[in-house]
Structure 1
Amino acid sequence: MKLYFSNGSPFARKVRVVLAELALAYETDILDGLRPTSSPPGPTIAVPVLEDGALRLWESDLIVDYLLRSYPVAKPAGEPPLSPWMARPERHWQDMTVLATIATCATSIVNLRLMQPDGITPDSSAYMARQKARVDSCLDWLETQVTDDGFAPGWFSIMDIAFFCPVAFCDARGVMPWRGRRKLEALYDRCRARPSMLATPIGGLQPS
């Protein structure tokens, strides 16, 4: 198994966390910063990309879904245990809606960060102002969906991981303030101490 990623990518971090939770060994192809468009690991010209034998997959949710289906959790790596699914079977559409909202929020956070070096900010760009408003709107809605025990009580869920990674990136890169949402803050603080999170810190210069 081989993973193409950058240390700064919150999307790649989500996959790295799941790999750590599943205790799966893998080779790495790491390039911090934007990869050349002339030789991308996949057609989206983005990471993460996972190779497993002859199979090559891209986009973090697809990769995570594949890992959960192909490599079931044999022994819980922490408490609560990693969930064995993307979404709870009895709440599939509700949980997938949460994941879709988190993915939209994450994309807007990364867009805000990538435009900062060029001086394109919410104060100077209507589009960036909309990205910031989208992050706030998504987080406000997620605060109504999360419980005091995370998005899926009793589990360390993919929703929890998907939320933590871009918000940790937001903090590390100083993208925008997001705190002030009690349940999300509590979830963030719990996730931060998880061994799989400690083993996959945000690094590098910028996501790709």
Structure 2
Amino acid sequence: MPTLYIANKNYSSWSLRPWLLLTELGIGFDEILLPFGEKDFSAVSPTAKVPCLVDGDIRVWDSLSIIEYLAESHPSVWPADKAARAFARSASAEMHSGFGAIRSLCSMNCGLRIKLNATPAALLAEWARMDALWREGLERFGGPFLAGSKFSAADAFFAPIAFRAQTYAPELSNQSRAYIDTLLGLKGMQSWYQAALAEPWRDDEHEKEALEAGEILADFRQSR
């Protein structure tokens, strides 16, 4: 059984992607959580970053590489339909390499609700692109997931955005909000969220990002 190394569930958007995919597809794995600031990721990953999947003698790092590795043994990782699969891969690659303003100005912090101090044009443009991308997938392939009726890697890639939307409440279409609700309602997402709220750790860098982003309206995490 492979082992997936991840970081704090409250902050680590990159860790969420392969974790959710494995969980929702029922692929067995062991989880080892290494808190930010308390553990040296270089002990498990050549980039000193997580997630990292260890499967026997094979070590796979970076969320996109992990998902493609899993797809070699589990065809359900990507949609069966060729057009849906092409869209899912393109959308996932765009998410993996883009949306820098959302990443930097709306960092993942599952337990918080934040009113942004400012919404620069670059951020608004990226939320608009996100909305258009989701609507395209939902309209073309019928939903409720991004590339059709079944959960796939594409949904795993956008799962951290669902938590960000919950935290920052951007303006989105009704279709996109329904998609966010679909993701947040997944059993795996609910499990991740409850674990994130229960974590005792706070990472100074991530907490600083939240404070600089705007006004903290609510903090649902347990007391330290």
TM score, norm. by length of structure 1: 0.71
1:9-158 mapped onto 2 (5 Å cutoff):
9-34=12-37, 39-71=42-74, 83-85=76-78, 88-104=81-97, 108-113=101-106, 129=120, 132-133=123-124, 135-147=126-138, 149=143, 150-158=145-153
Higher strand share: 2
RCO higher in 1 or 2 (8 Å CA, sep ≥ 6)? 1
Distance 1:84 1:166 in 2: 19
Q: Percent identity?
A: 21
Distance 2:50 2:189 in 1: 19
1:172-183 mapped onto 2 (5 Å cutoff):
174=167, 176-183=168-175
RMSD: 3.3
Distance 2:180 2:22 in 1: 20
Is the alpha carbon distance of 1:47 and 1:135 closer, same or farther for their aligned partners in structure 2, counting shifts above 3 Å? Answer: farther
Distance 1:53 1:106 in 2: 34
Distance 2:90 2:154 in 1: 10
Partner residue of 1:164?
A: 159
Gaps of at least 5 residues in structure 1 are: 73-82
Contact 1:98 1:142 in 2 (8 A): yes
TM score, norm. by length of structure 2: 0.66
Distance 1:99 1:137 in 2: 17
1:186 to 150, 158, 178: 178
Tell me the CA shift for residue 48 of structure 1.
Answer: 0.6
Tell me the CA shift for residue 107 of structure 1.
Answer: 5.2
* 1:118-138 deviation digits (Å, cap 9, x = unpaired): xxx985xxxx94762453243
Tell me the CA shift for residue 197 of structure 1.
Answer: 1.9
Contact 1:112 1:131 in 2 (8 A): no
Partner residue of 1:78?
A: none
Contact 2:17 2:160 in 1 (8 A): yes
Task: Write the letter of the residue equivalent to 2:191.
Answer: A
1:195 to 183, 187, 193: 187
Distance 2:38 2:26 in 1: 27
Contact 2:42 2:49 in 1 (8 A): no
Aligned length: 186
Task: Write the letter of the residue equivalent to 1:111.
Answer: S
Tell me the CA shift for residue 95 of structure 1.
Answer: 2.9
